[in-house]
Amino acid sequence: MMAMPTPGGGGLGPATYSFQSSQPNYEAAVHKIQYLSKDELQDLLNNDSAFERFIQGLEQIQSLQGEKEMLMASNKSLAEYNLSQEPVLRRIRLELEARKNEAATLIQEVRSLLQSTDQRRGQTDPETLLALLRASAANVDEESDQIATDFLDDKFESVDRFLEAFIEKRKVSHLRKVKGDKLEEMIEERRRKRPTGVAGLTPARNAPPPPPAIYRAPNGPPTALVGNLPYPVNPVGMPSPY
């Protein structure tokens, strides 16, 4: 049997040994017995110490003893390496646990943000946005009016500072009003497209006005009654005596 050293852990860990076992070579084991004398054989049978020395002197036993020592050295080296890597493994385990907790916290925060966004999206309808835009534009108008009042009260250092502040407020107010008008158009357009009747049925329409009543005077042309009155308003021709 032969032990071959093999580097462990991709060359980073301790060397280990692989052993290839084979069948016992009985011929080699009894080879020395064939050349022993009768007295030597008798001594092996009667003397345990002599028999033990003979067995330990066999080449196979010595090879096994060498492999045993190498195996013990390999196991010792592997155990020492594992002990040396224990602090590293503990640190990596702690880092992994911290990353896991951090990931769980981030996932919970993302879920909370998504839930909050969905709630806000459901609560904010176009009509509410329009009202907020109108109110915001009105607030900016009041601020611009206050700036003009402050300018008249000589609270500005220069005309340029007044114009800069006033124009900025008017610009914001104008943009919000434009956005509000556009949003109002979109709301009205959606209302026009929305059916007003029963769901799934054609919207109800107003009945058409009745046709105008016609009054025909004797021997005269027909005359339309104004406002569907039961009598004519315009003068009618008198009947002919003939």
Residue 156: both structure tokens together: 């500005």
Average pLDDT, integer, range 82-93: 89
130, 187 Cβ separation under 8 angstroms: yes
Average pLDDT, the chain: 75
pTM exceeds cut of 0.85:
no
Quick one: pLDDT band at residue 9, thresholds 50, 70, 90?
very low
How many Å is the Cα radius of gyration of the chain? 55
**How large a percentage of the chain has pLDDT more than 90?**
18
Q: Mean pLDDT highest for which of 6-15, 125-134, 227-236?
A: 125-134
Q: Spell out the domain ranges in the chain.
A: 2-85, 124-193
pLDDT in tens, 126-155: 888 888 889 999 999 999 999 999 889 888
pLDDT in tens, 197-231: 544 444 555 555 655 545 454 555 555 544 444 44
- Please give the C-alpha separations between residue 201 and each of 24, 72, 207, in angstroms, as whole numbers: 98, 91, 17
Q: SS3 letters for the chain? A: CEEEEEECCCCCCCEEEEEECCCCCHHHHCCCHHHCCHHHHHHHHHCHHHHHHHHHCCHHHHHHHHHHHHHHHHHHHHHHHHHHHHHHHHHHHHHHHHHHHHHHHHHHHHHHHHHHHHHHHHHCCHHHHHHHHHHHHHHHHHHHHHHHHHHHCCCCCCHHHHHHHHHHHHHHHHHHHHHHHHHHHHHHHHHHHCCCCCCCCCCCCCCCCCCCCEEECCCCCEEECHHHCCCCCCCCCCCCCC
Which of the residue ranges 106-120, 140-154, 156-170 would you say has the lowest mean pLDDT?
Answer: 106-120
